[in-house]
């Protein structure tokens, strides 16, 4: 885990990589913030836990309140503390509609 831009860790890319690995291992597109924090800290104990949590729960969460100037649609909150990688197609299928 060492993607760096201007000597700074690119948290978004690192978190996405960690989440993809976690859901792959679980065989289910679902994860908890604590799983991401634990995984990332095990790889690099110098990471900021608060930044990891903020990215997952707010900055990169499609259904979070708009608290940041720049946001991303990487994750979707399913319930308190439980998220998944955001897949717009899954939402369309869930509604029983198809735009393809």
pLDDT of residue 11: 94
Provide the angle, in degrees to the nearest 10, between the axes of the packed helices 11-26 and 33-43: 110
pLDDT digits 0-9 by tens, 5-56: 445 679 999 999 999 999 999 999 999 999 999 999 999 999 999 999 999 9
Please, which pLDDT band fits residue 88 given cuts at 50, 70 and 90? Answer: confident
Whole-model pTM: value is 0.78
């Amino acid at each position: 885990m060492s993607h760096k831009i201007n000597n700074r860790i690119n948290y978004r890319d690192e978190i996405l990589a960690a989440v993809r690995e976690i859901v792959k291992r679980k065989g289910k597109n679902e994860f908890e913030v604590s799983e991401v924090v634990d995984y990332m800290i095990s790889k690099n104990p110098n990471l900021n836990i608060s930044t990891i949590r903020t990215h997952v729960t707010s900055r990169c969460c499609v259904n979070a309140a708009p608290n940041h100037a720049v946001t991303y649609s990487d994750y979707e909150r399913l319930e308190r503390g439980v998220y998944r990688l955001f897949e717009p197609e899954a939402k369309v299928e869930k509604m029983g509609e198809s735009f393809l």
